[in-house]
């Protein structure tokens, strides 16, 4: 069974929700990325999403865009990311806890390498699935077929502006989990989330049994508390990525510990004792 399926099966049996942090690979370095992932695993992450830097992100806000730019300026490429990911996947902090890795990757990177080769190499590097945000559903059939043959999850997104009939189709085709975008616009920290996201989640729940995970704009315990009764997991990106920039001017250990503290705070809000 794919590790993502194993994770959600276990969490549902325990009546717990998945905490999914996102960080950019290679910002400020791949060694730092490994340290961040280790700390997030130790602090309660259920699954870690790794962003593969690319030059034309379509939904990322200024914080994640800047992080991608910094990594690309340092020459971060796919092969070193995969090599570091392979090391992370074997790290006892992840392996002993059964924490899967999921890649957030542009289809341009997949296409350039060749879809089959990319999926095989990603899986060999410890990835259990991928989110390909710039691949339209209508053009995803070939990649979905290759992924299914490898038991590699292809995770789709729905947004608040996705028509419900289309959202239902996306939900039925997504594997691993469905990435539910909470707000209209790009990623980034926000003061509050729109109430409409709860209605969207309730409607989607009727369309699929796949886990529903919400991302974009989540950064505070209050956001997590609002969502926890309707979701299978929450995805937090910008609140962590914002701290990556600080790692260039502050001691790495301090930044790592702050990320761990934030993770613990959000995990407690998501899964109160």
DSSP state letter for 232: S
Say which of 60, 189, 230, 232 is annotated catalytic. Answer: 60
Rg over alpha carbons for the chain, rounded to the nearest Å, is 17
Judged by DSSP in three states, 270 sits in helix
Bridge partners (DSSP) of residue 157 are: 179
**H/E element, 272:** none
> Is 49 one of the catalytic residues?
yes
> Is 60 one of the catalytic residues?
yes
Do residues 81 and 52 make contact, with C-beta atoms less than 8 angstroms apart? yes
Largest Cα–Cα distance of the chain, in whole Å? 49
d(CA 77, CA 82): 9
Say which of 49, 207, 230, 232 is annotated catalytic. Answer: 49
What 3 state SS string does 54-109 have? CCCCCCCCHHHHHHHHHHHHCCCCHHHHHHHHHHHHCCHHHHCCCCCEEEECCHHH
d(CA 26, CA 7): 26
d(CA 12, CA 211): 10
Q: How many residues does the chain have?
A: 273
Judged by DSSP in three states, 234 sits in strand
- Show which residues are catalytic: 49, 60
């Amino acid at each position: 069974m794919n590790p993502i399926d194993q994770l959600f099966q276990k969490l549902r049996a325990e009546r717990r929700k998945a905490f999914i942090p996102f960080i950019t690979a290679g910002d400020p370095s791949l060694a730092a990325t490994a340290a961040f992932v280790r700390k997030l695993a130790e602090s309660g992450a259920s699954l870690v999403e790794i962003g593969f830097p690319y030059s034309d992100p379509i939904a990322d806000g200024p914080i994640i865009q800047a992080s991608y730019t910094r990594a690309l300026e340092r020459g971060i490429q796919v092969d070193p990311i995969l090599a570091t990911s392979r090391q992370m996947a074997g790290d006892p902090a992840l392996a002993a806890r059964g924490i899967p890795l999921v890649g957030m990757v542009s289809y341009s990177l997949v296409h350039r390498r060749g879809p089959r080769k990319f999926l095989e190499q990603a899986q060999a590097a410890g990835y259990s699935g991928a989110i390909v945000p710039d691949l339209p559903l209508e053009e995803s059939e070939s990649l979905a077929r290759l992924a299914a043959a490898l038991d590699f999850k292809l995770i789709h997104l729905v947004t608040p502006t996705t028509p419900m009939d289309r959202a239902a189709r996306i939900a039925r085709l997504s594997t691993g989990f469905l990435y539910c975008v909470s707000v209209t616009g790009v990623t980034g920290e926000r003061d509050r989330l729109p109430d409409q996201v709860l209605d969207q989640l309730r409607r989607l729940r009727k369309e699929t049994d796949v886990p529903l995970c919400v991302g974009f704009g989540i950064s505070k315990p209050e956001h997590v508390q609002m969502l926890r009764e309707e979701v299978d997991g929450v995805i937090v990106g910008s609140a962590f990525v914002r701290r990556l920039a600080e790692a260039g001017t502050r001691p790495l250990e301090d930044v790592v510990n702050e990320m761990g503290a934030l993770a613990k705070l959000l995990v407690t809000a998501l899964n109160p004792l």
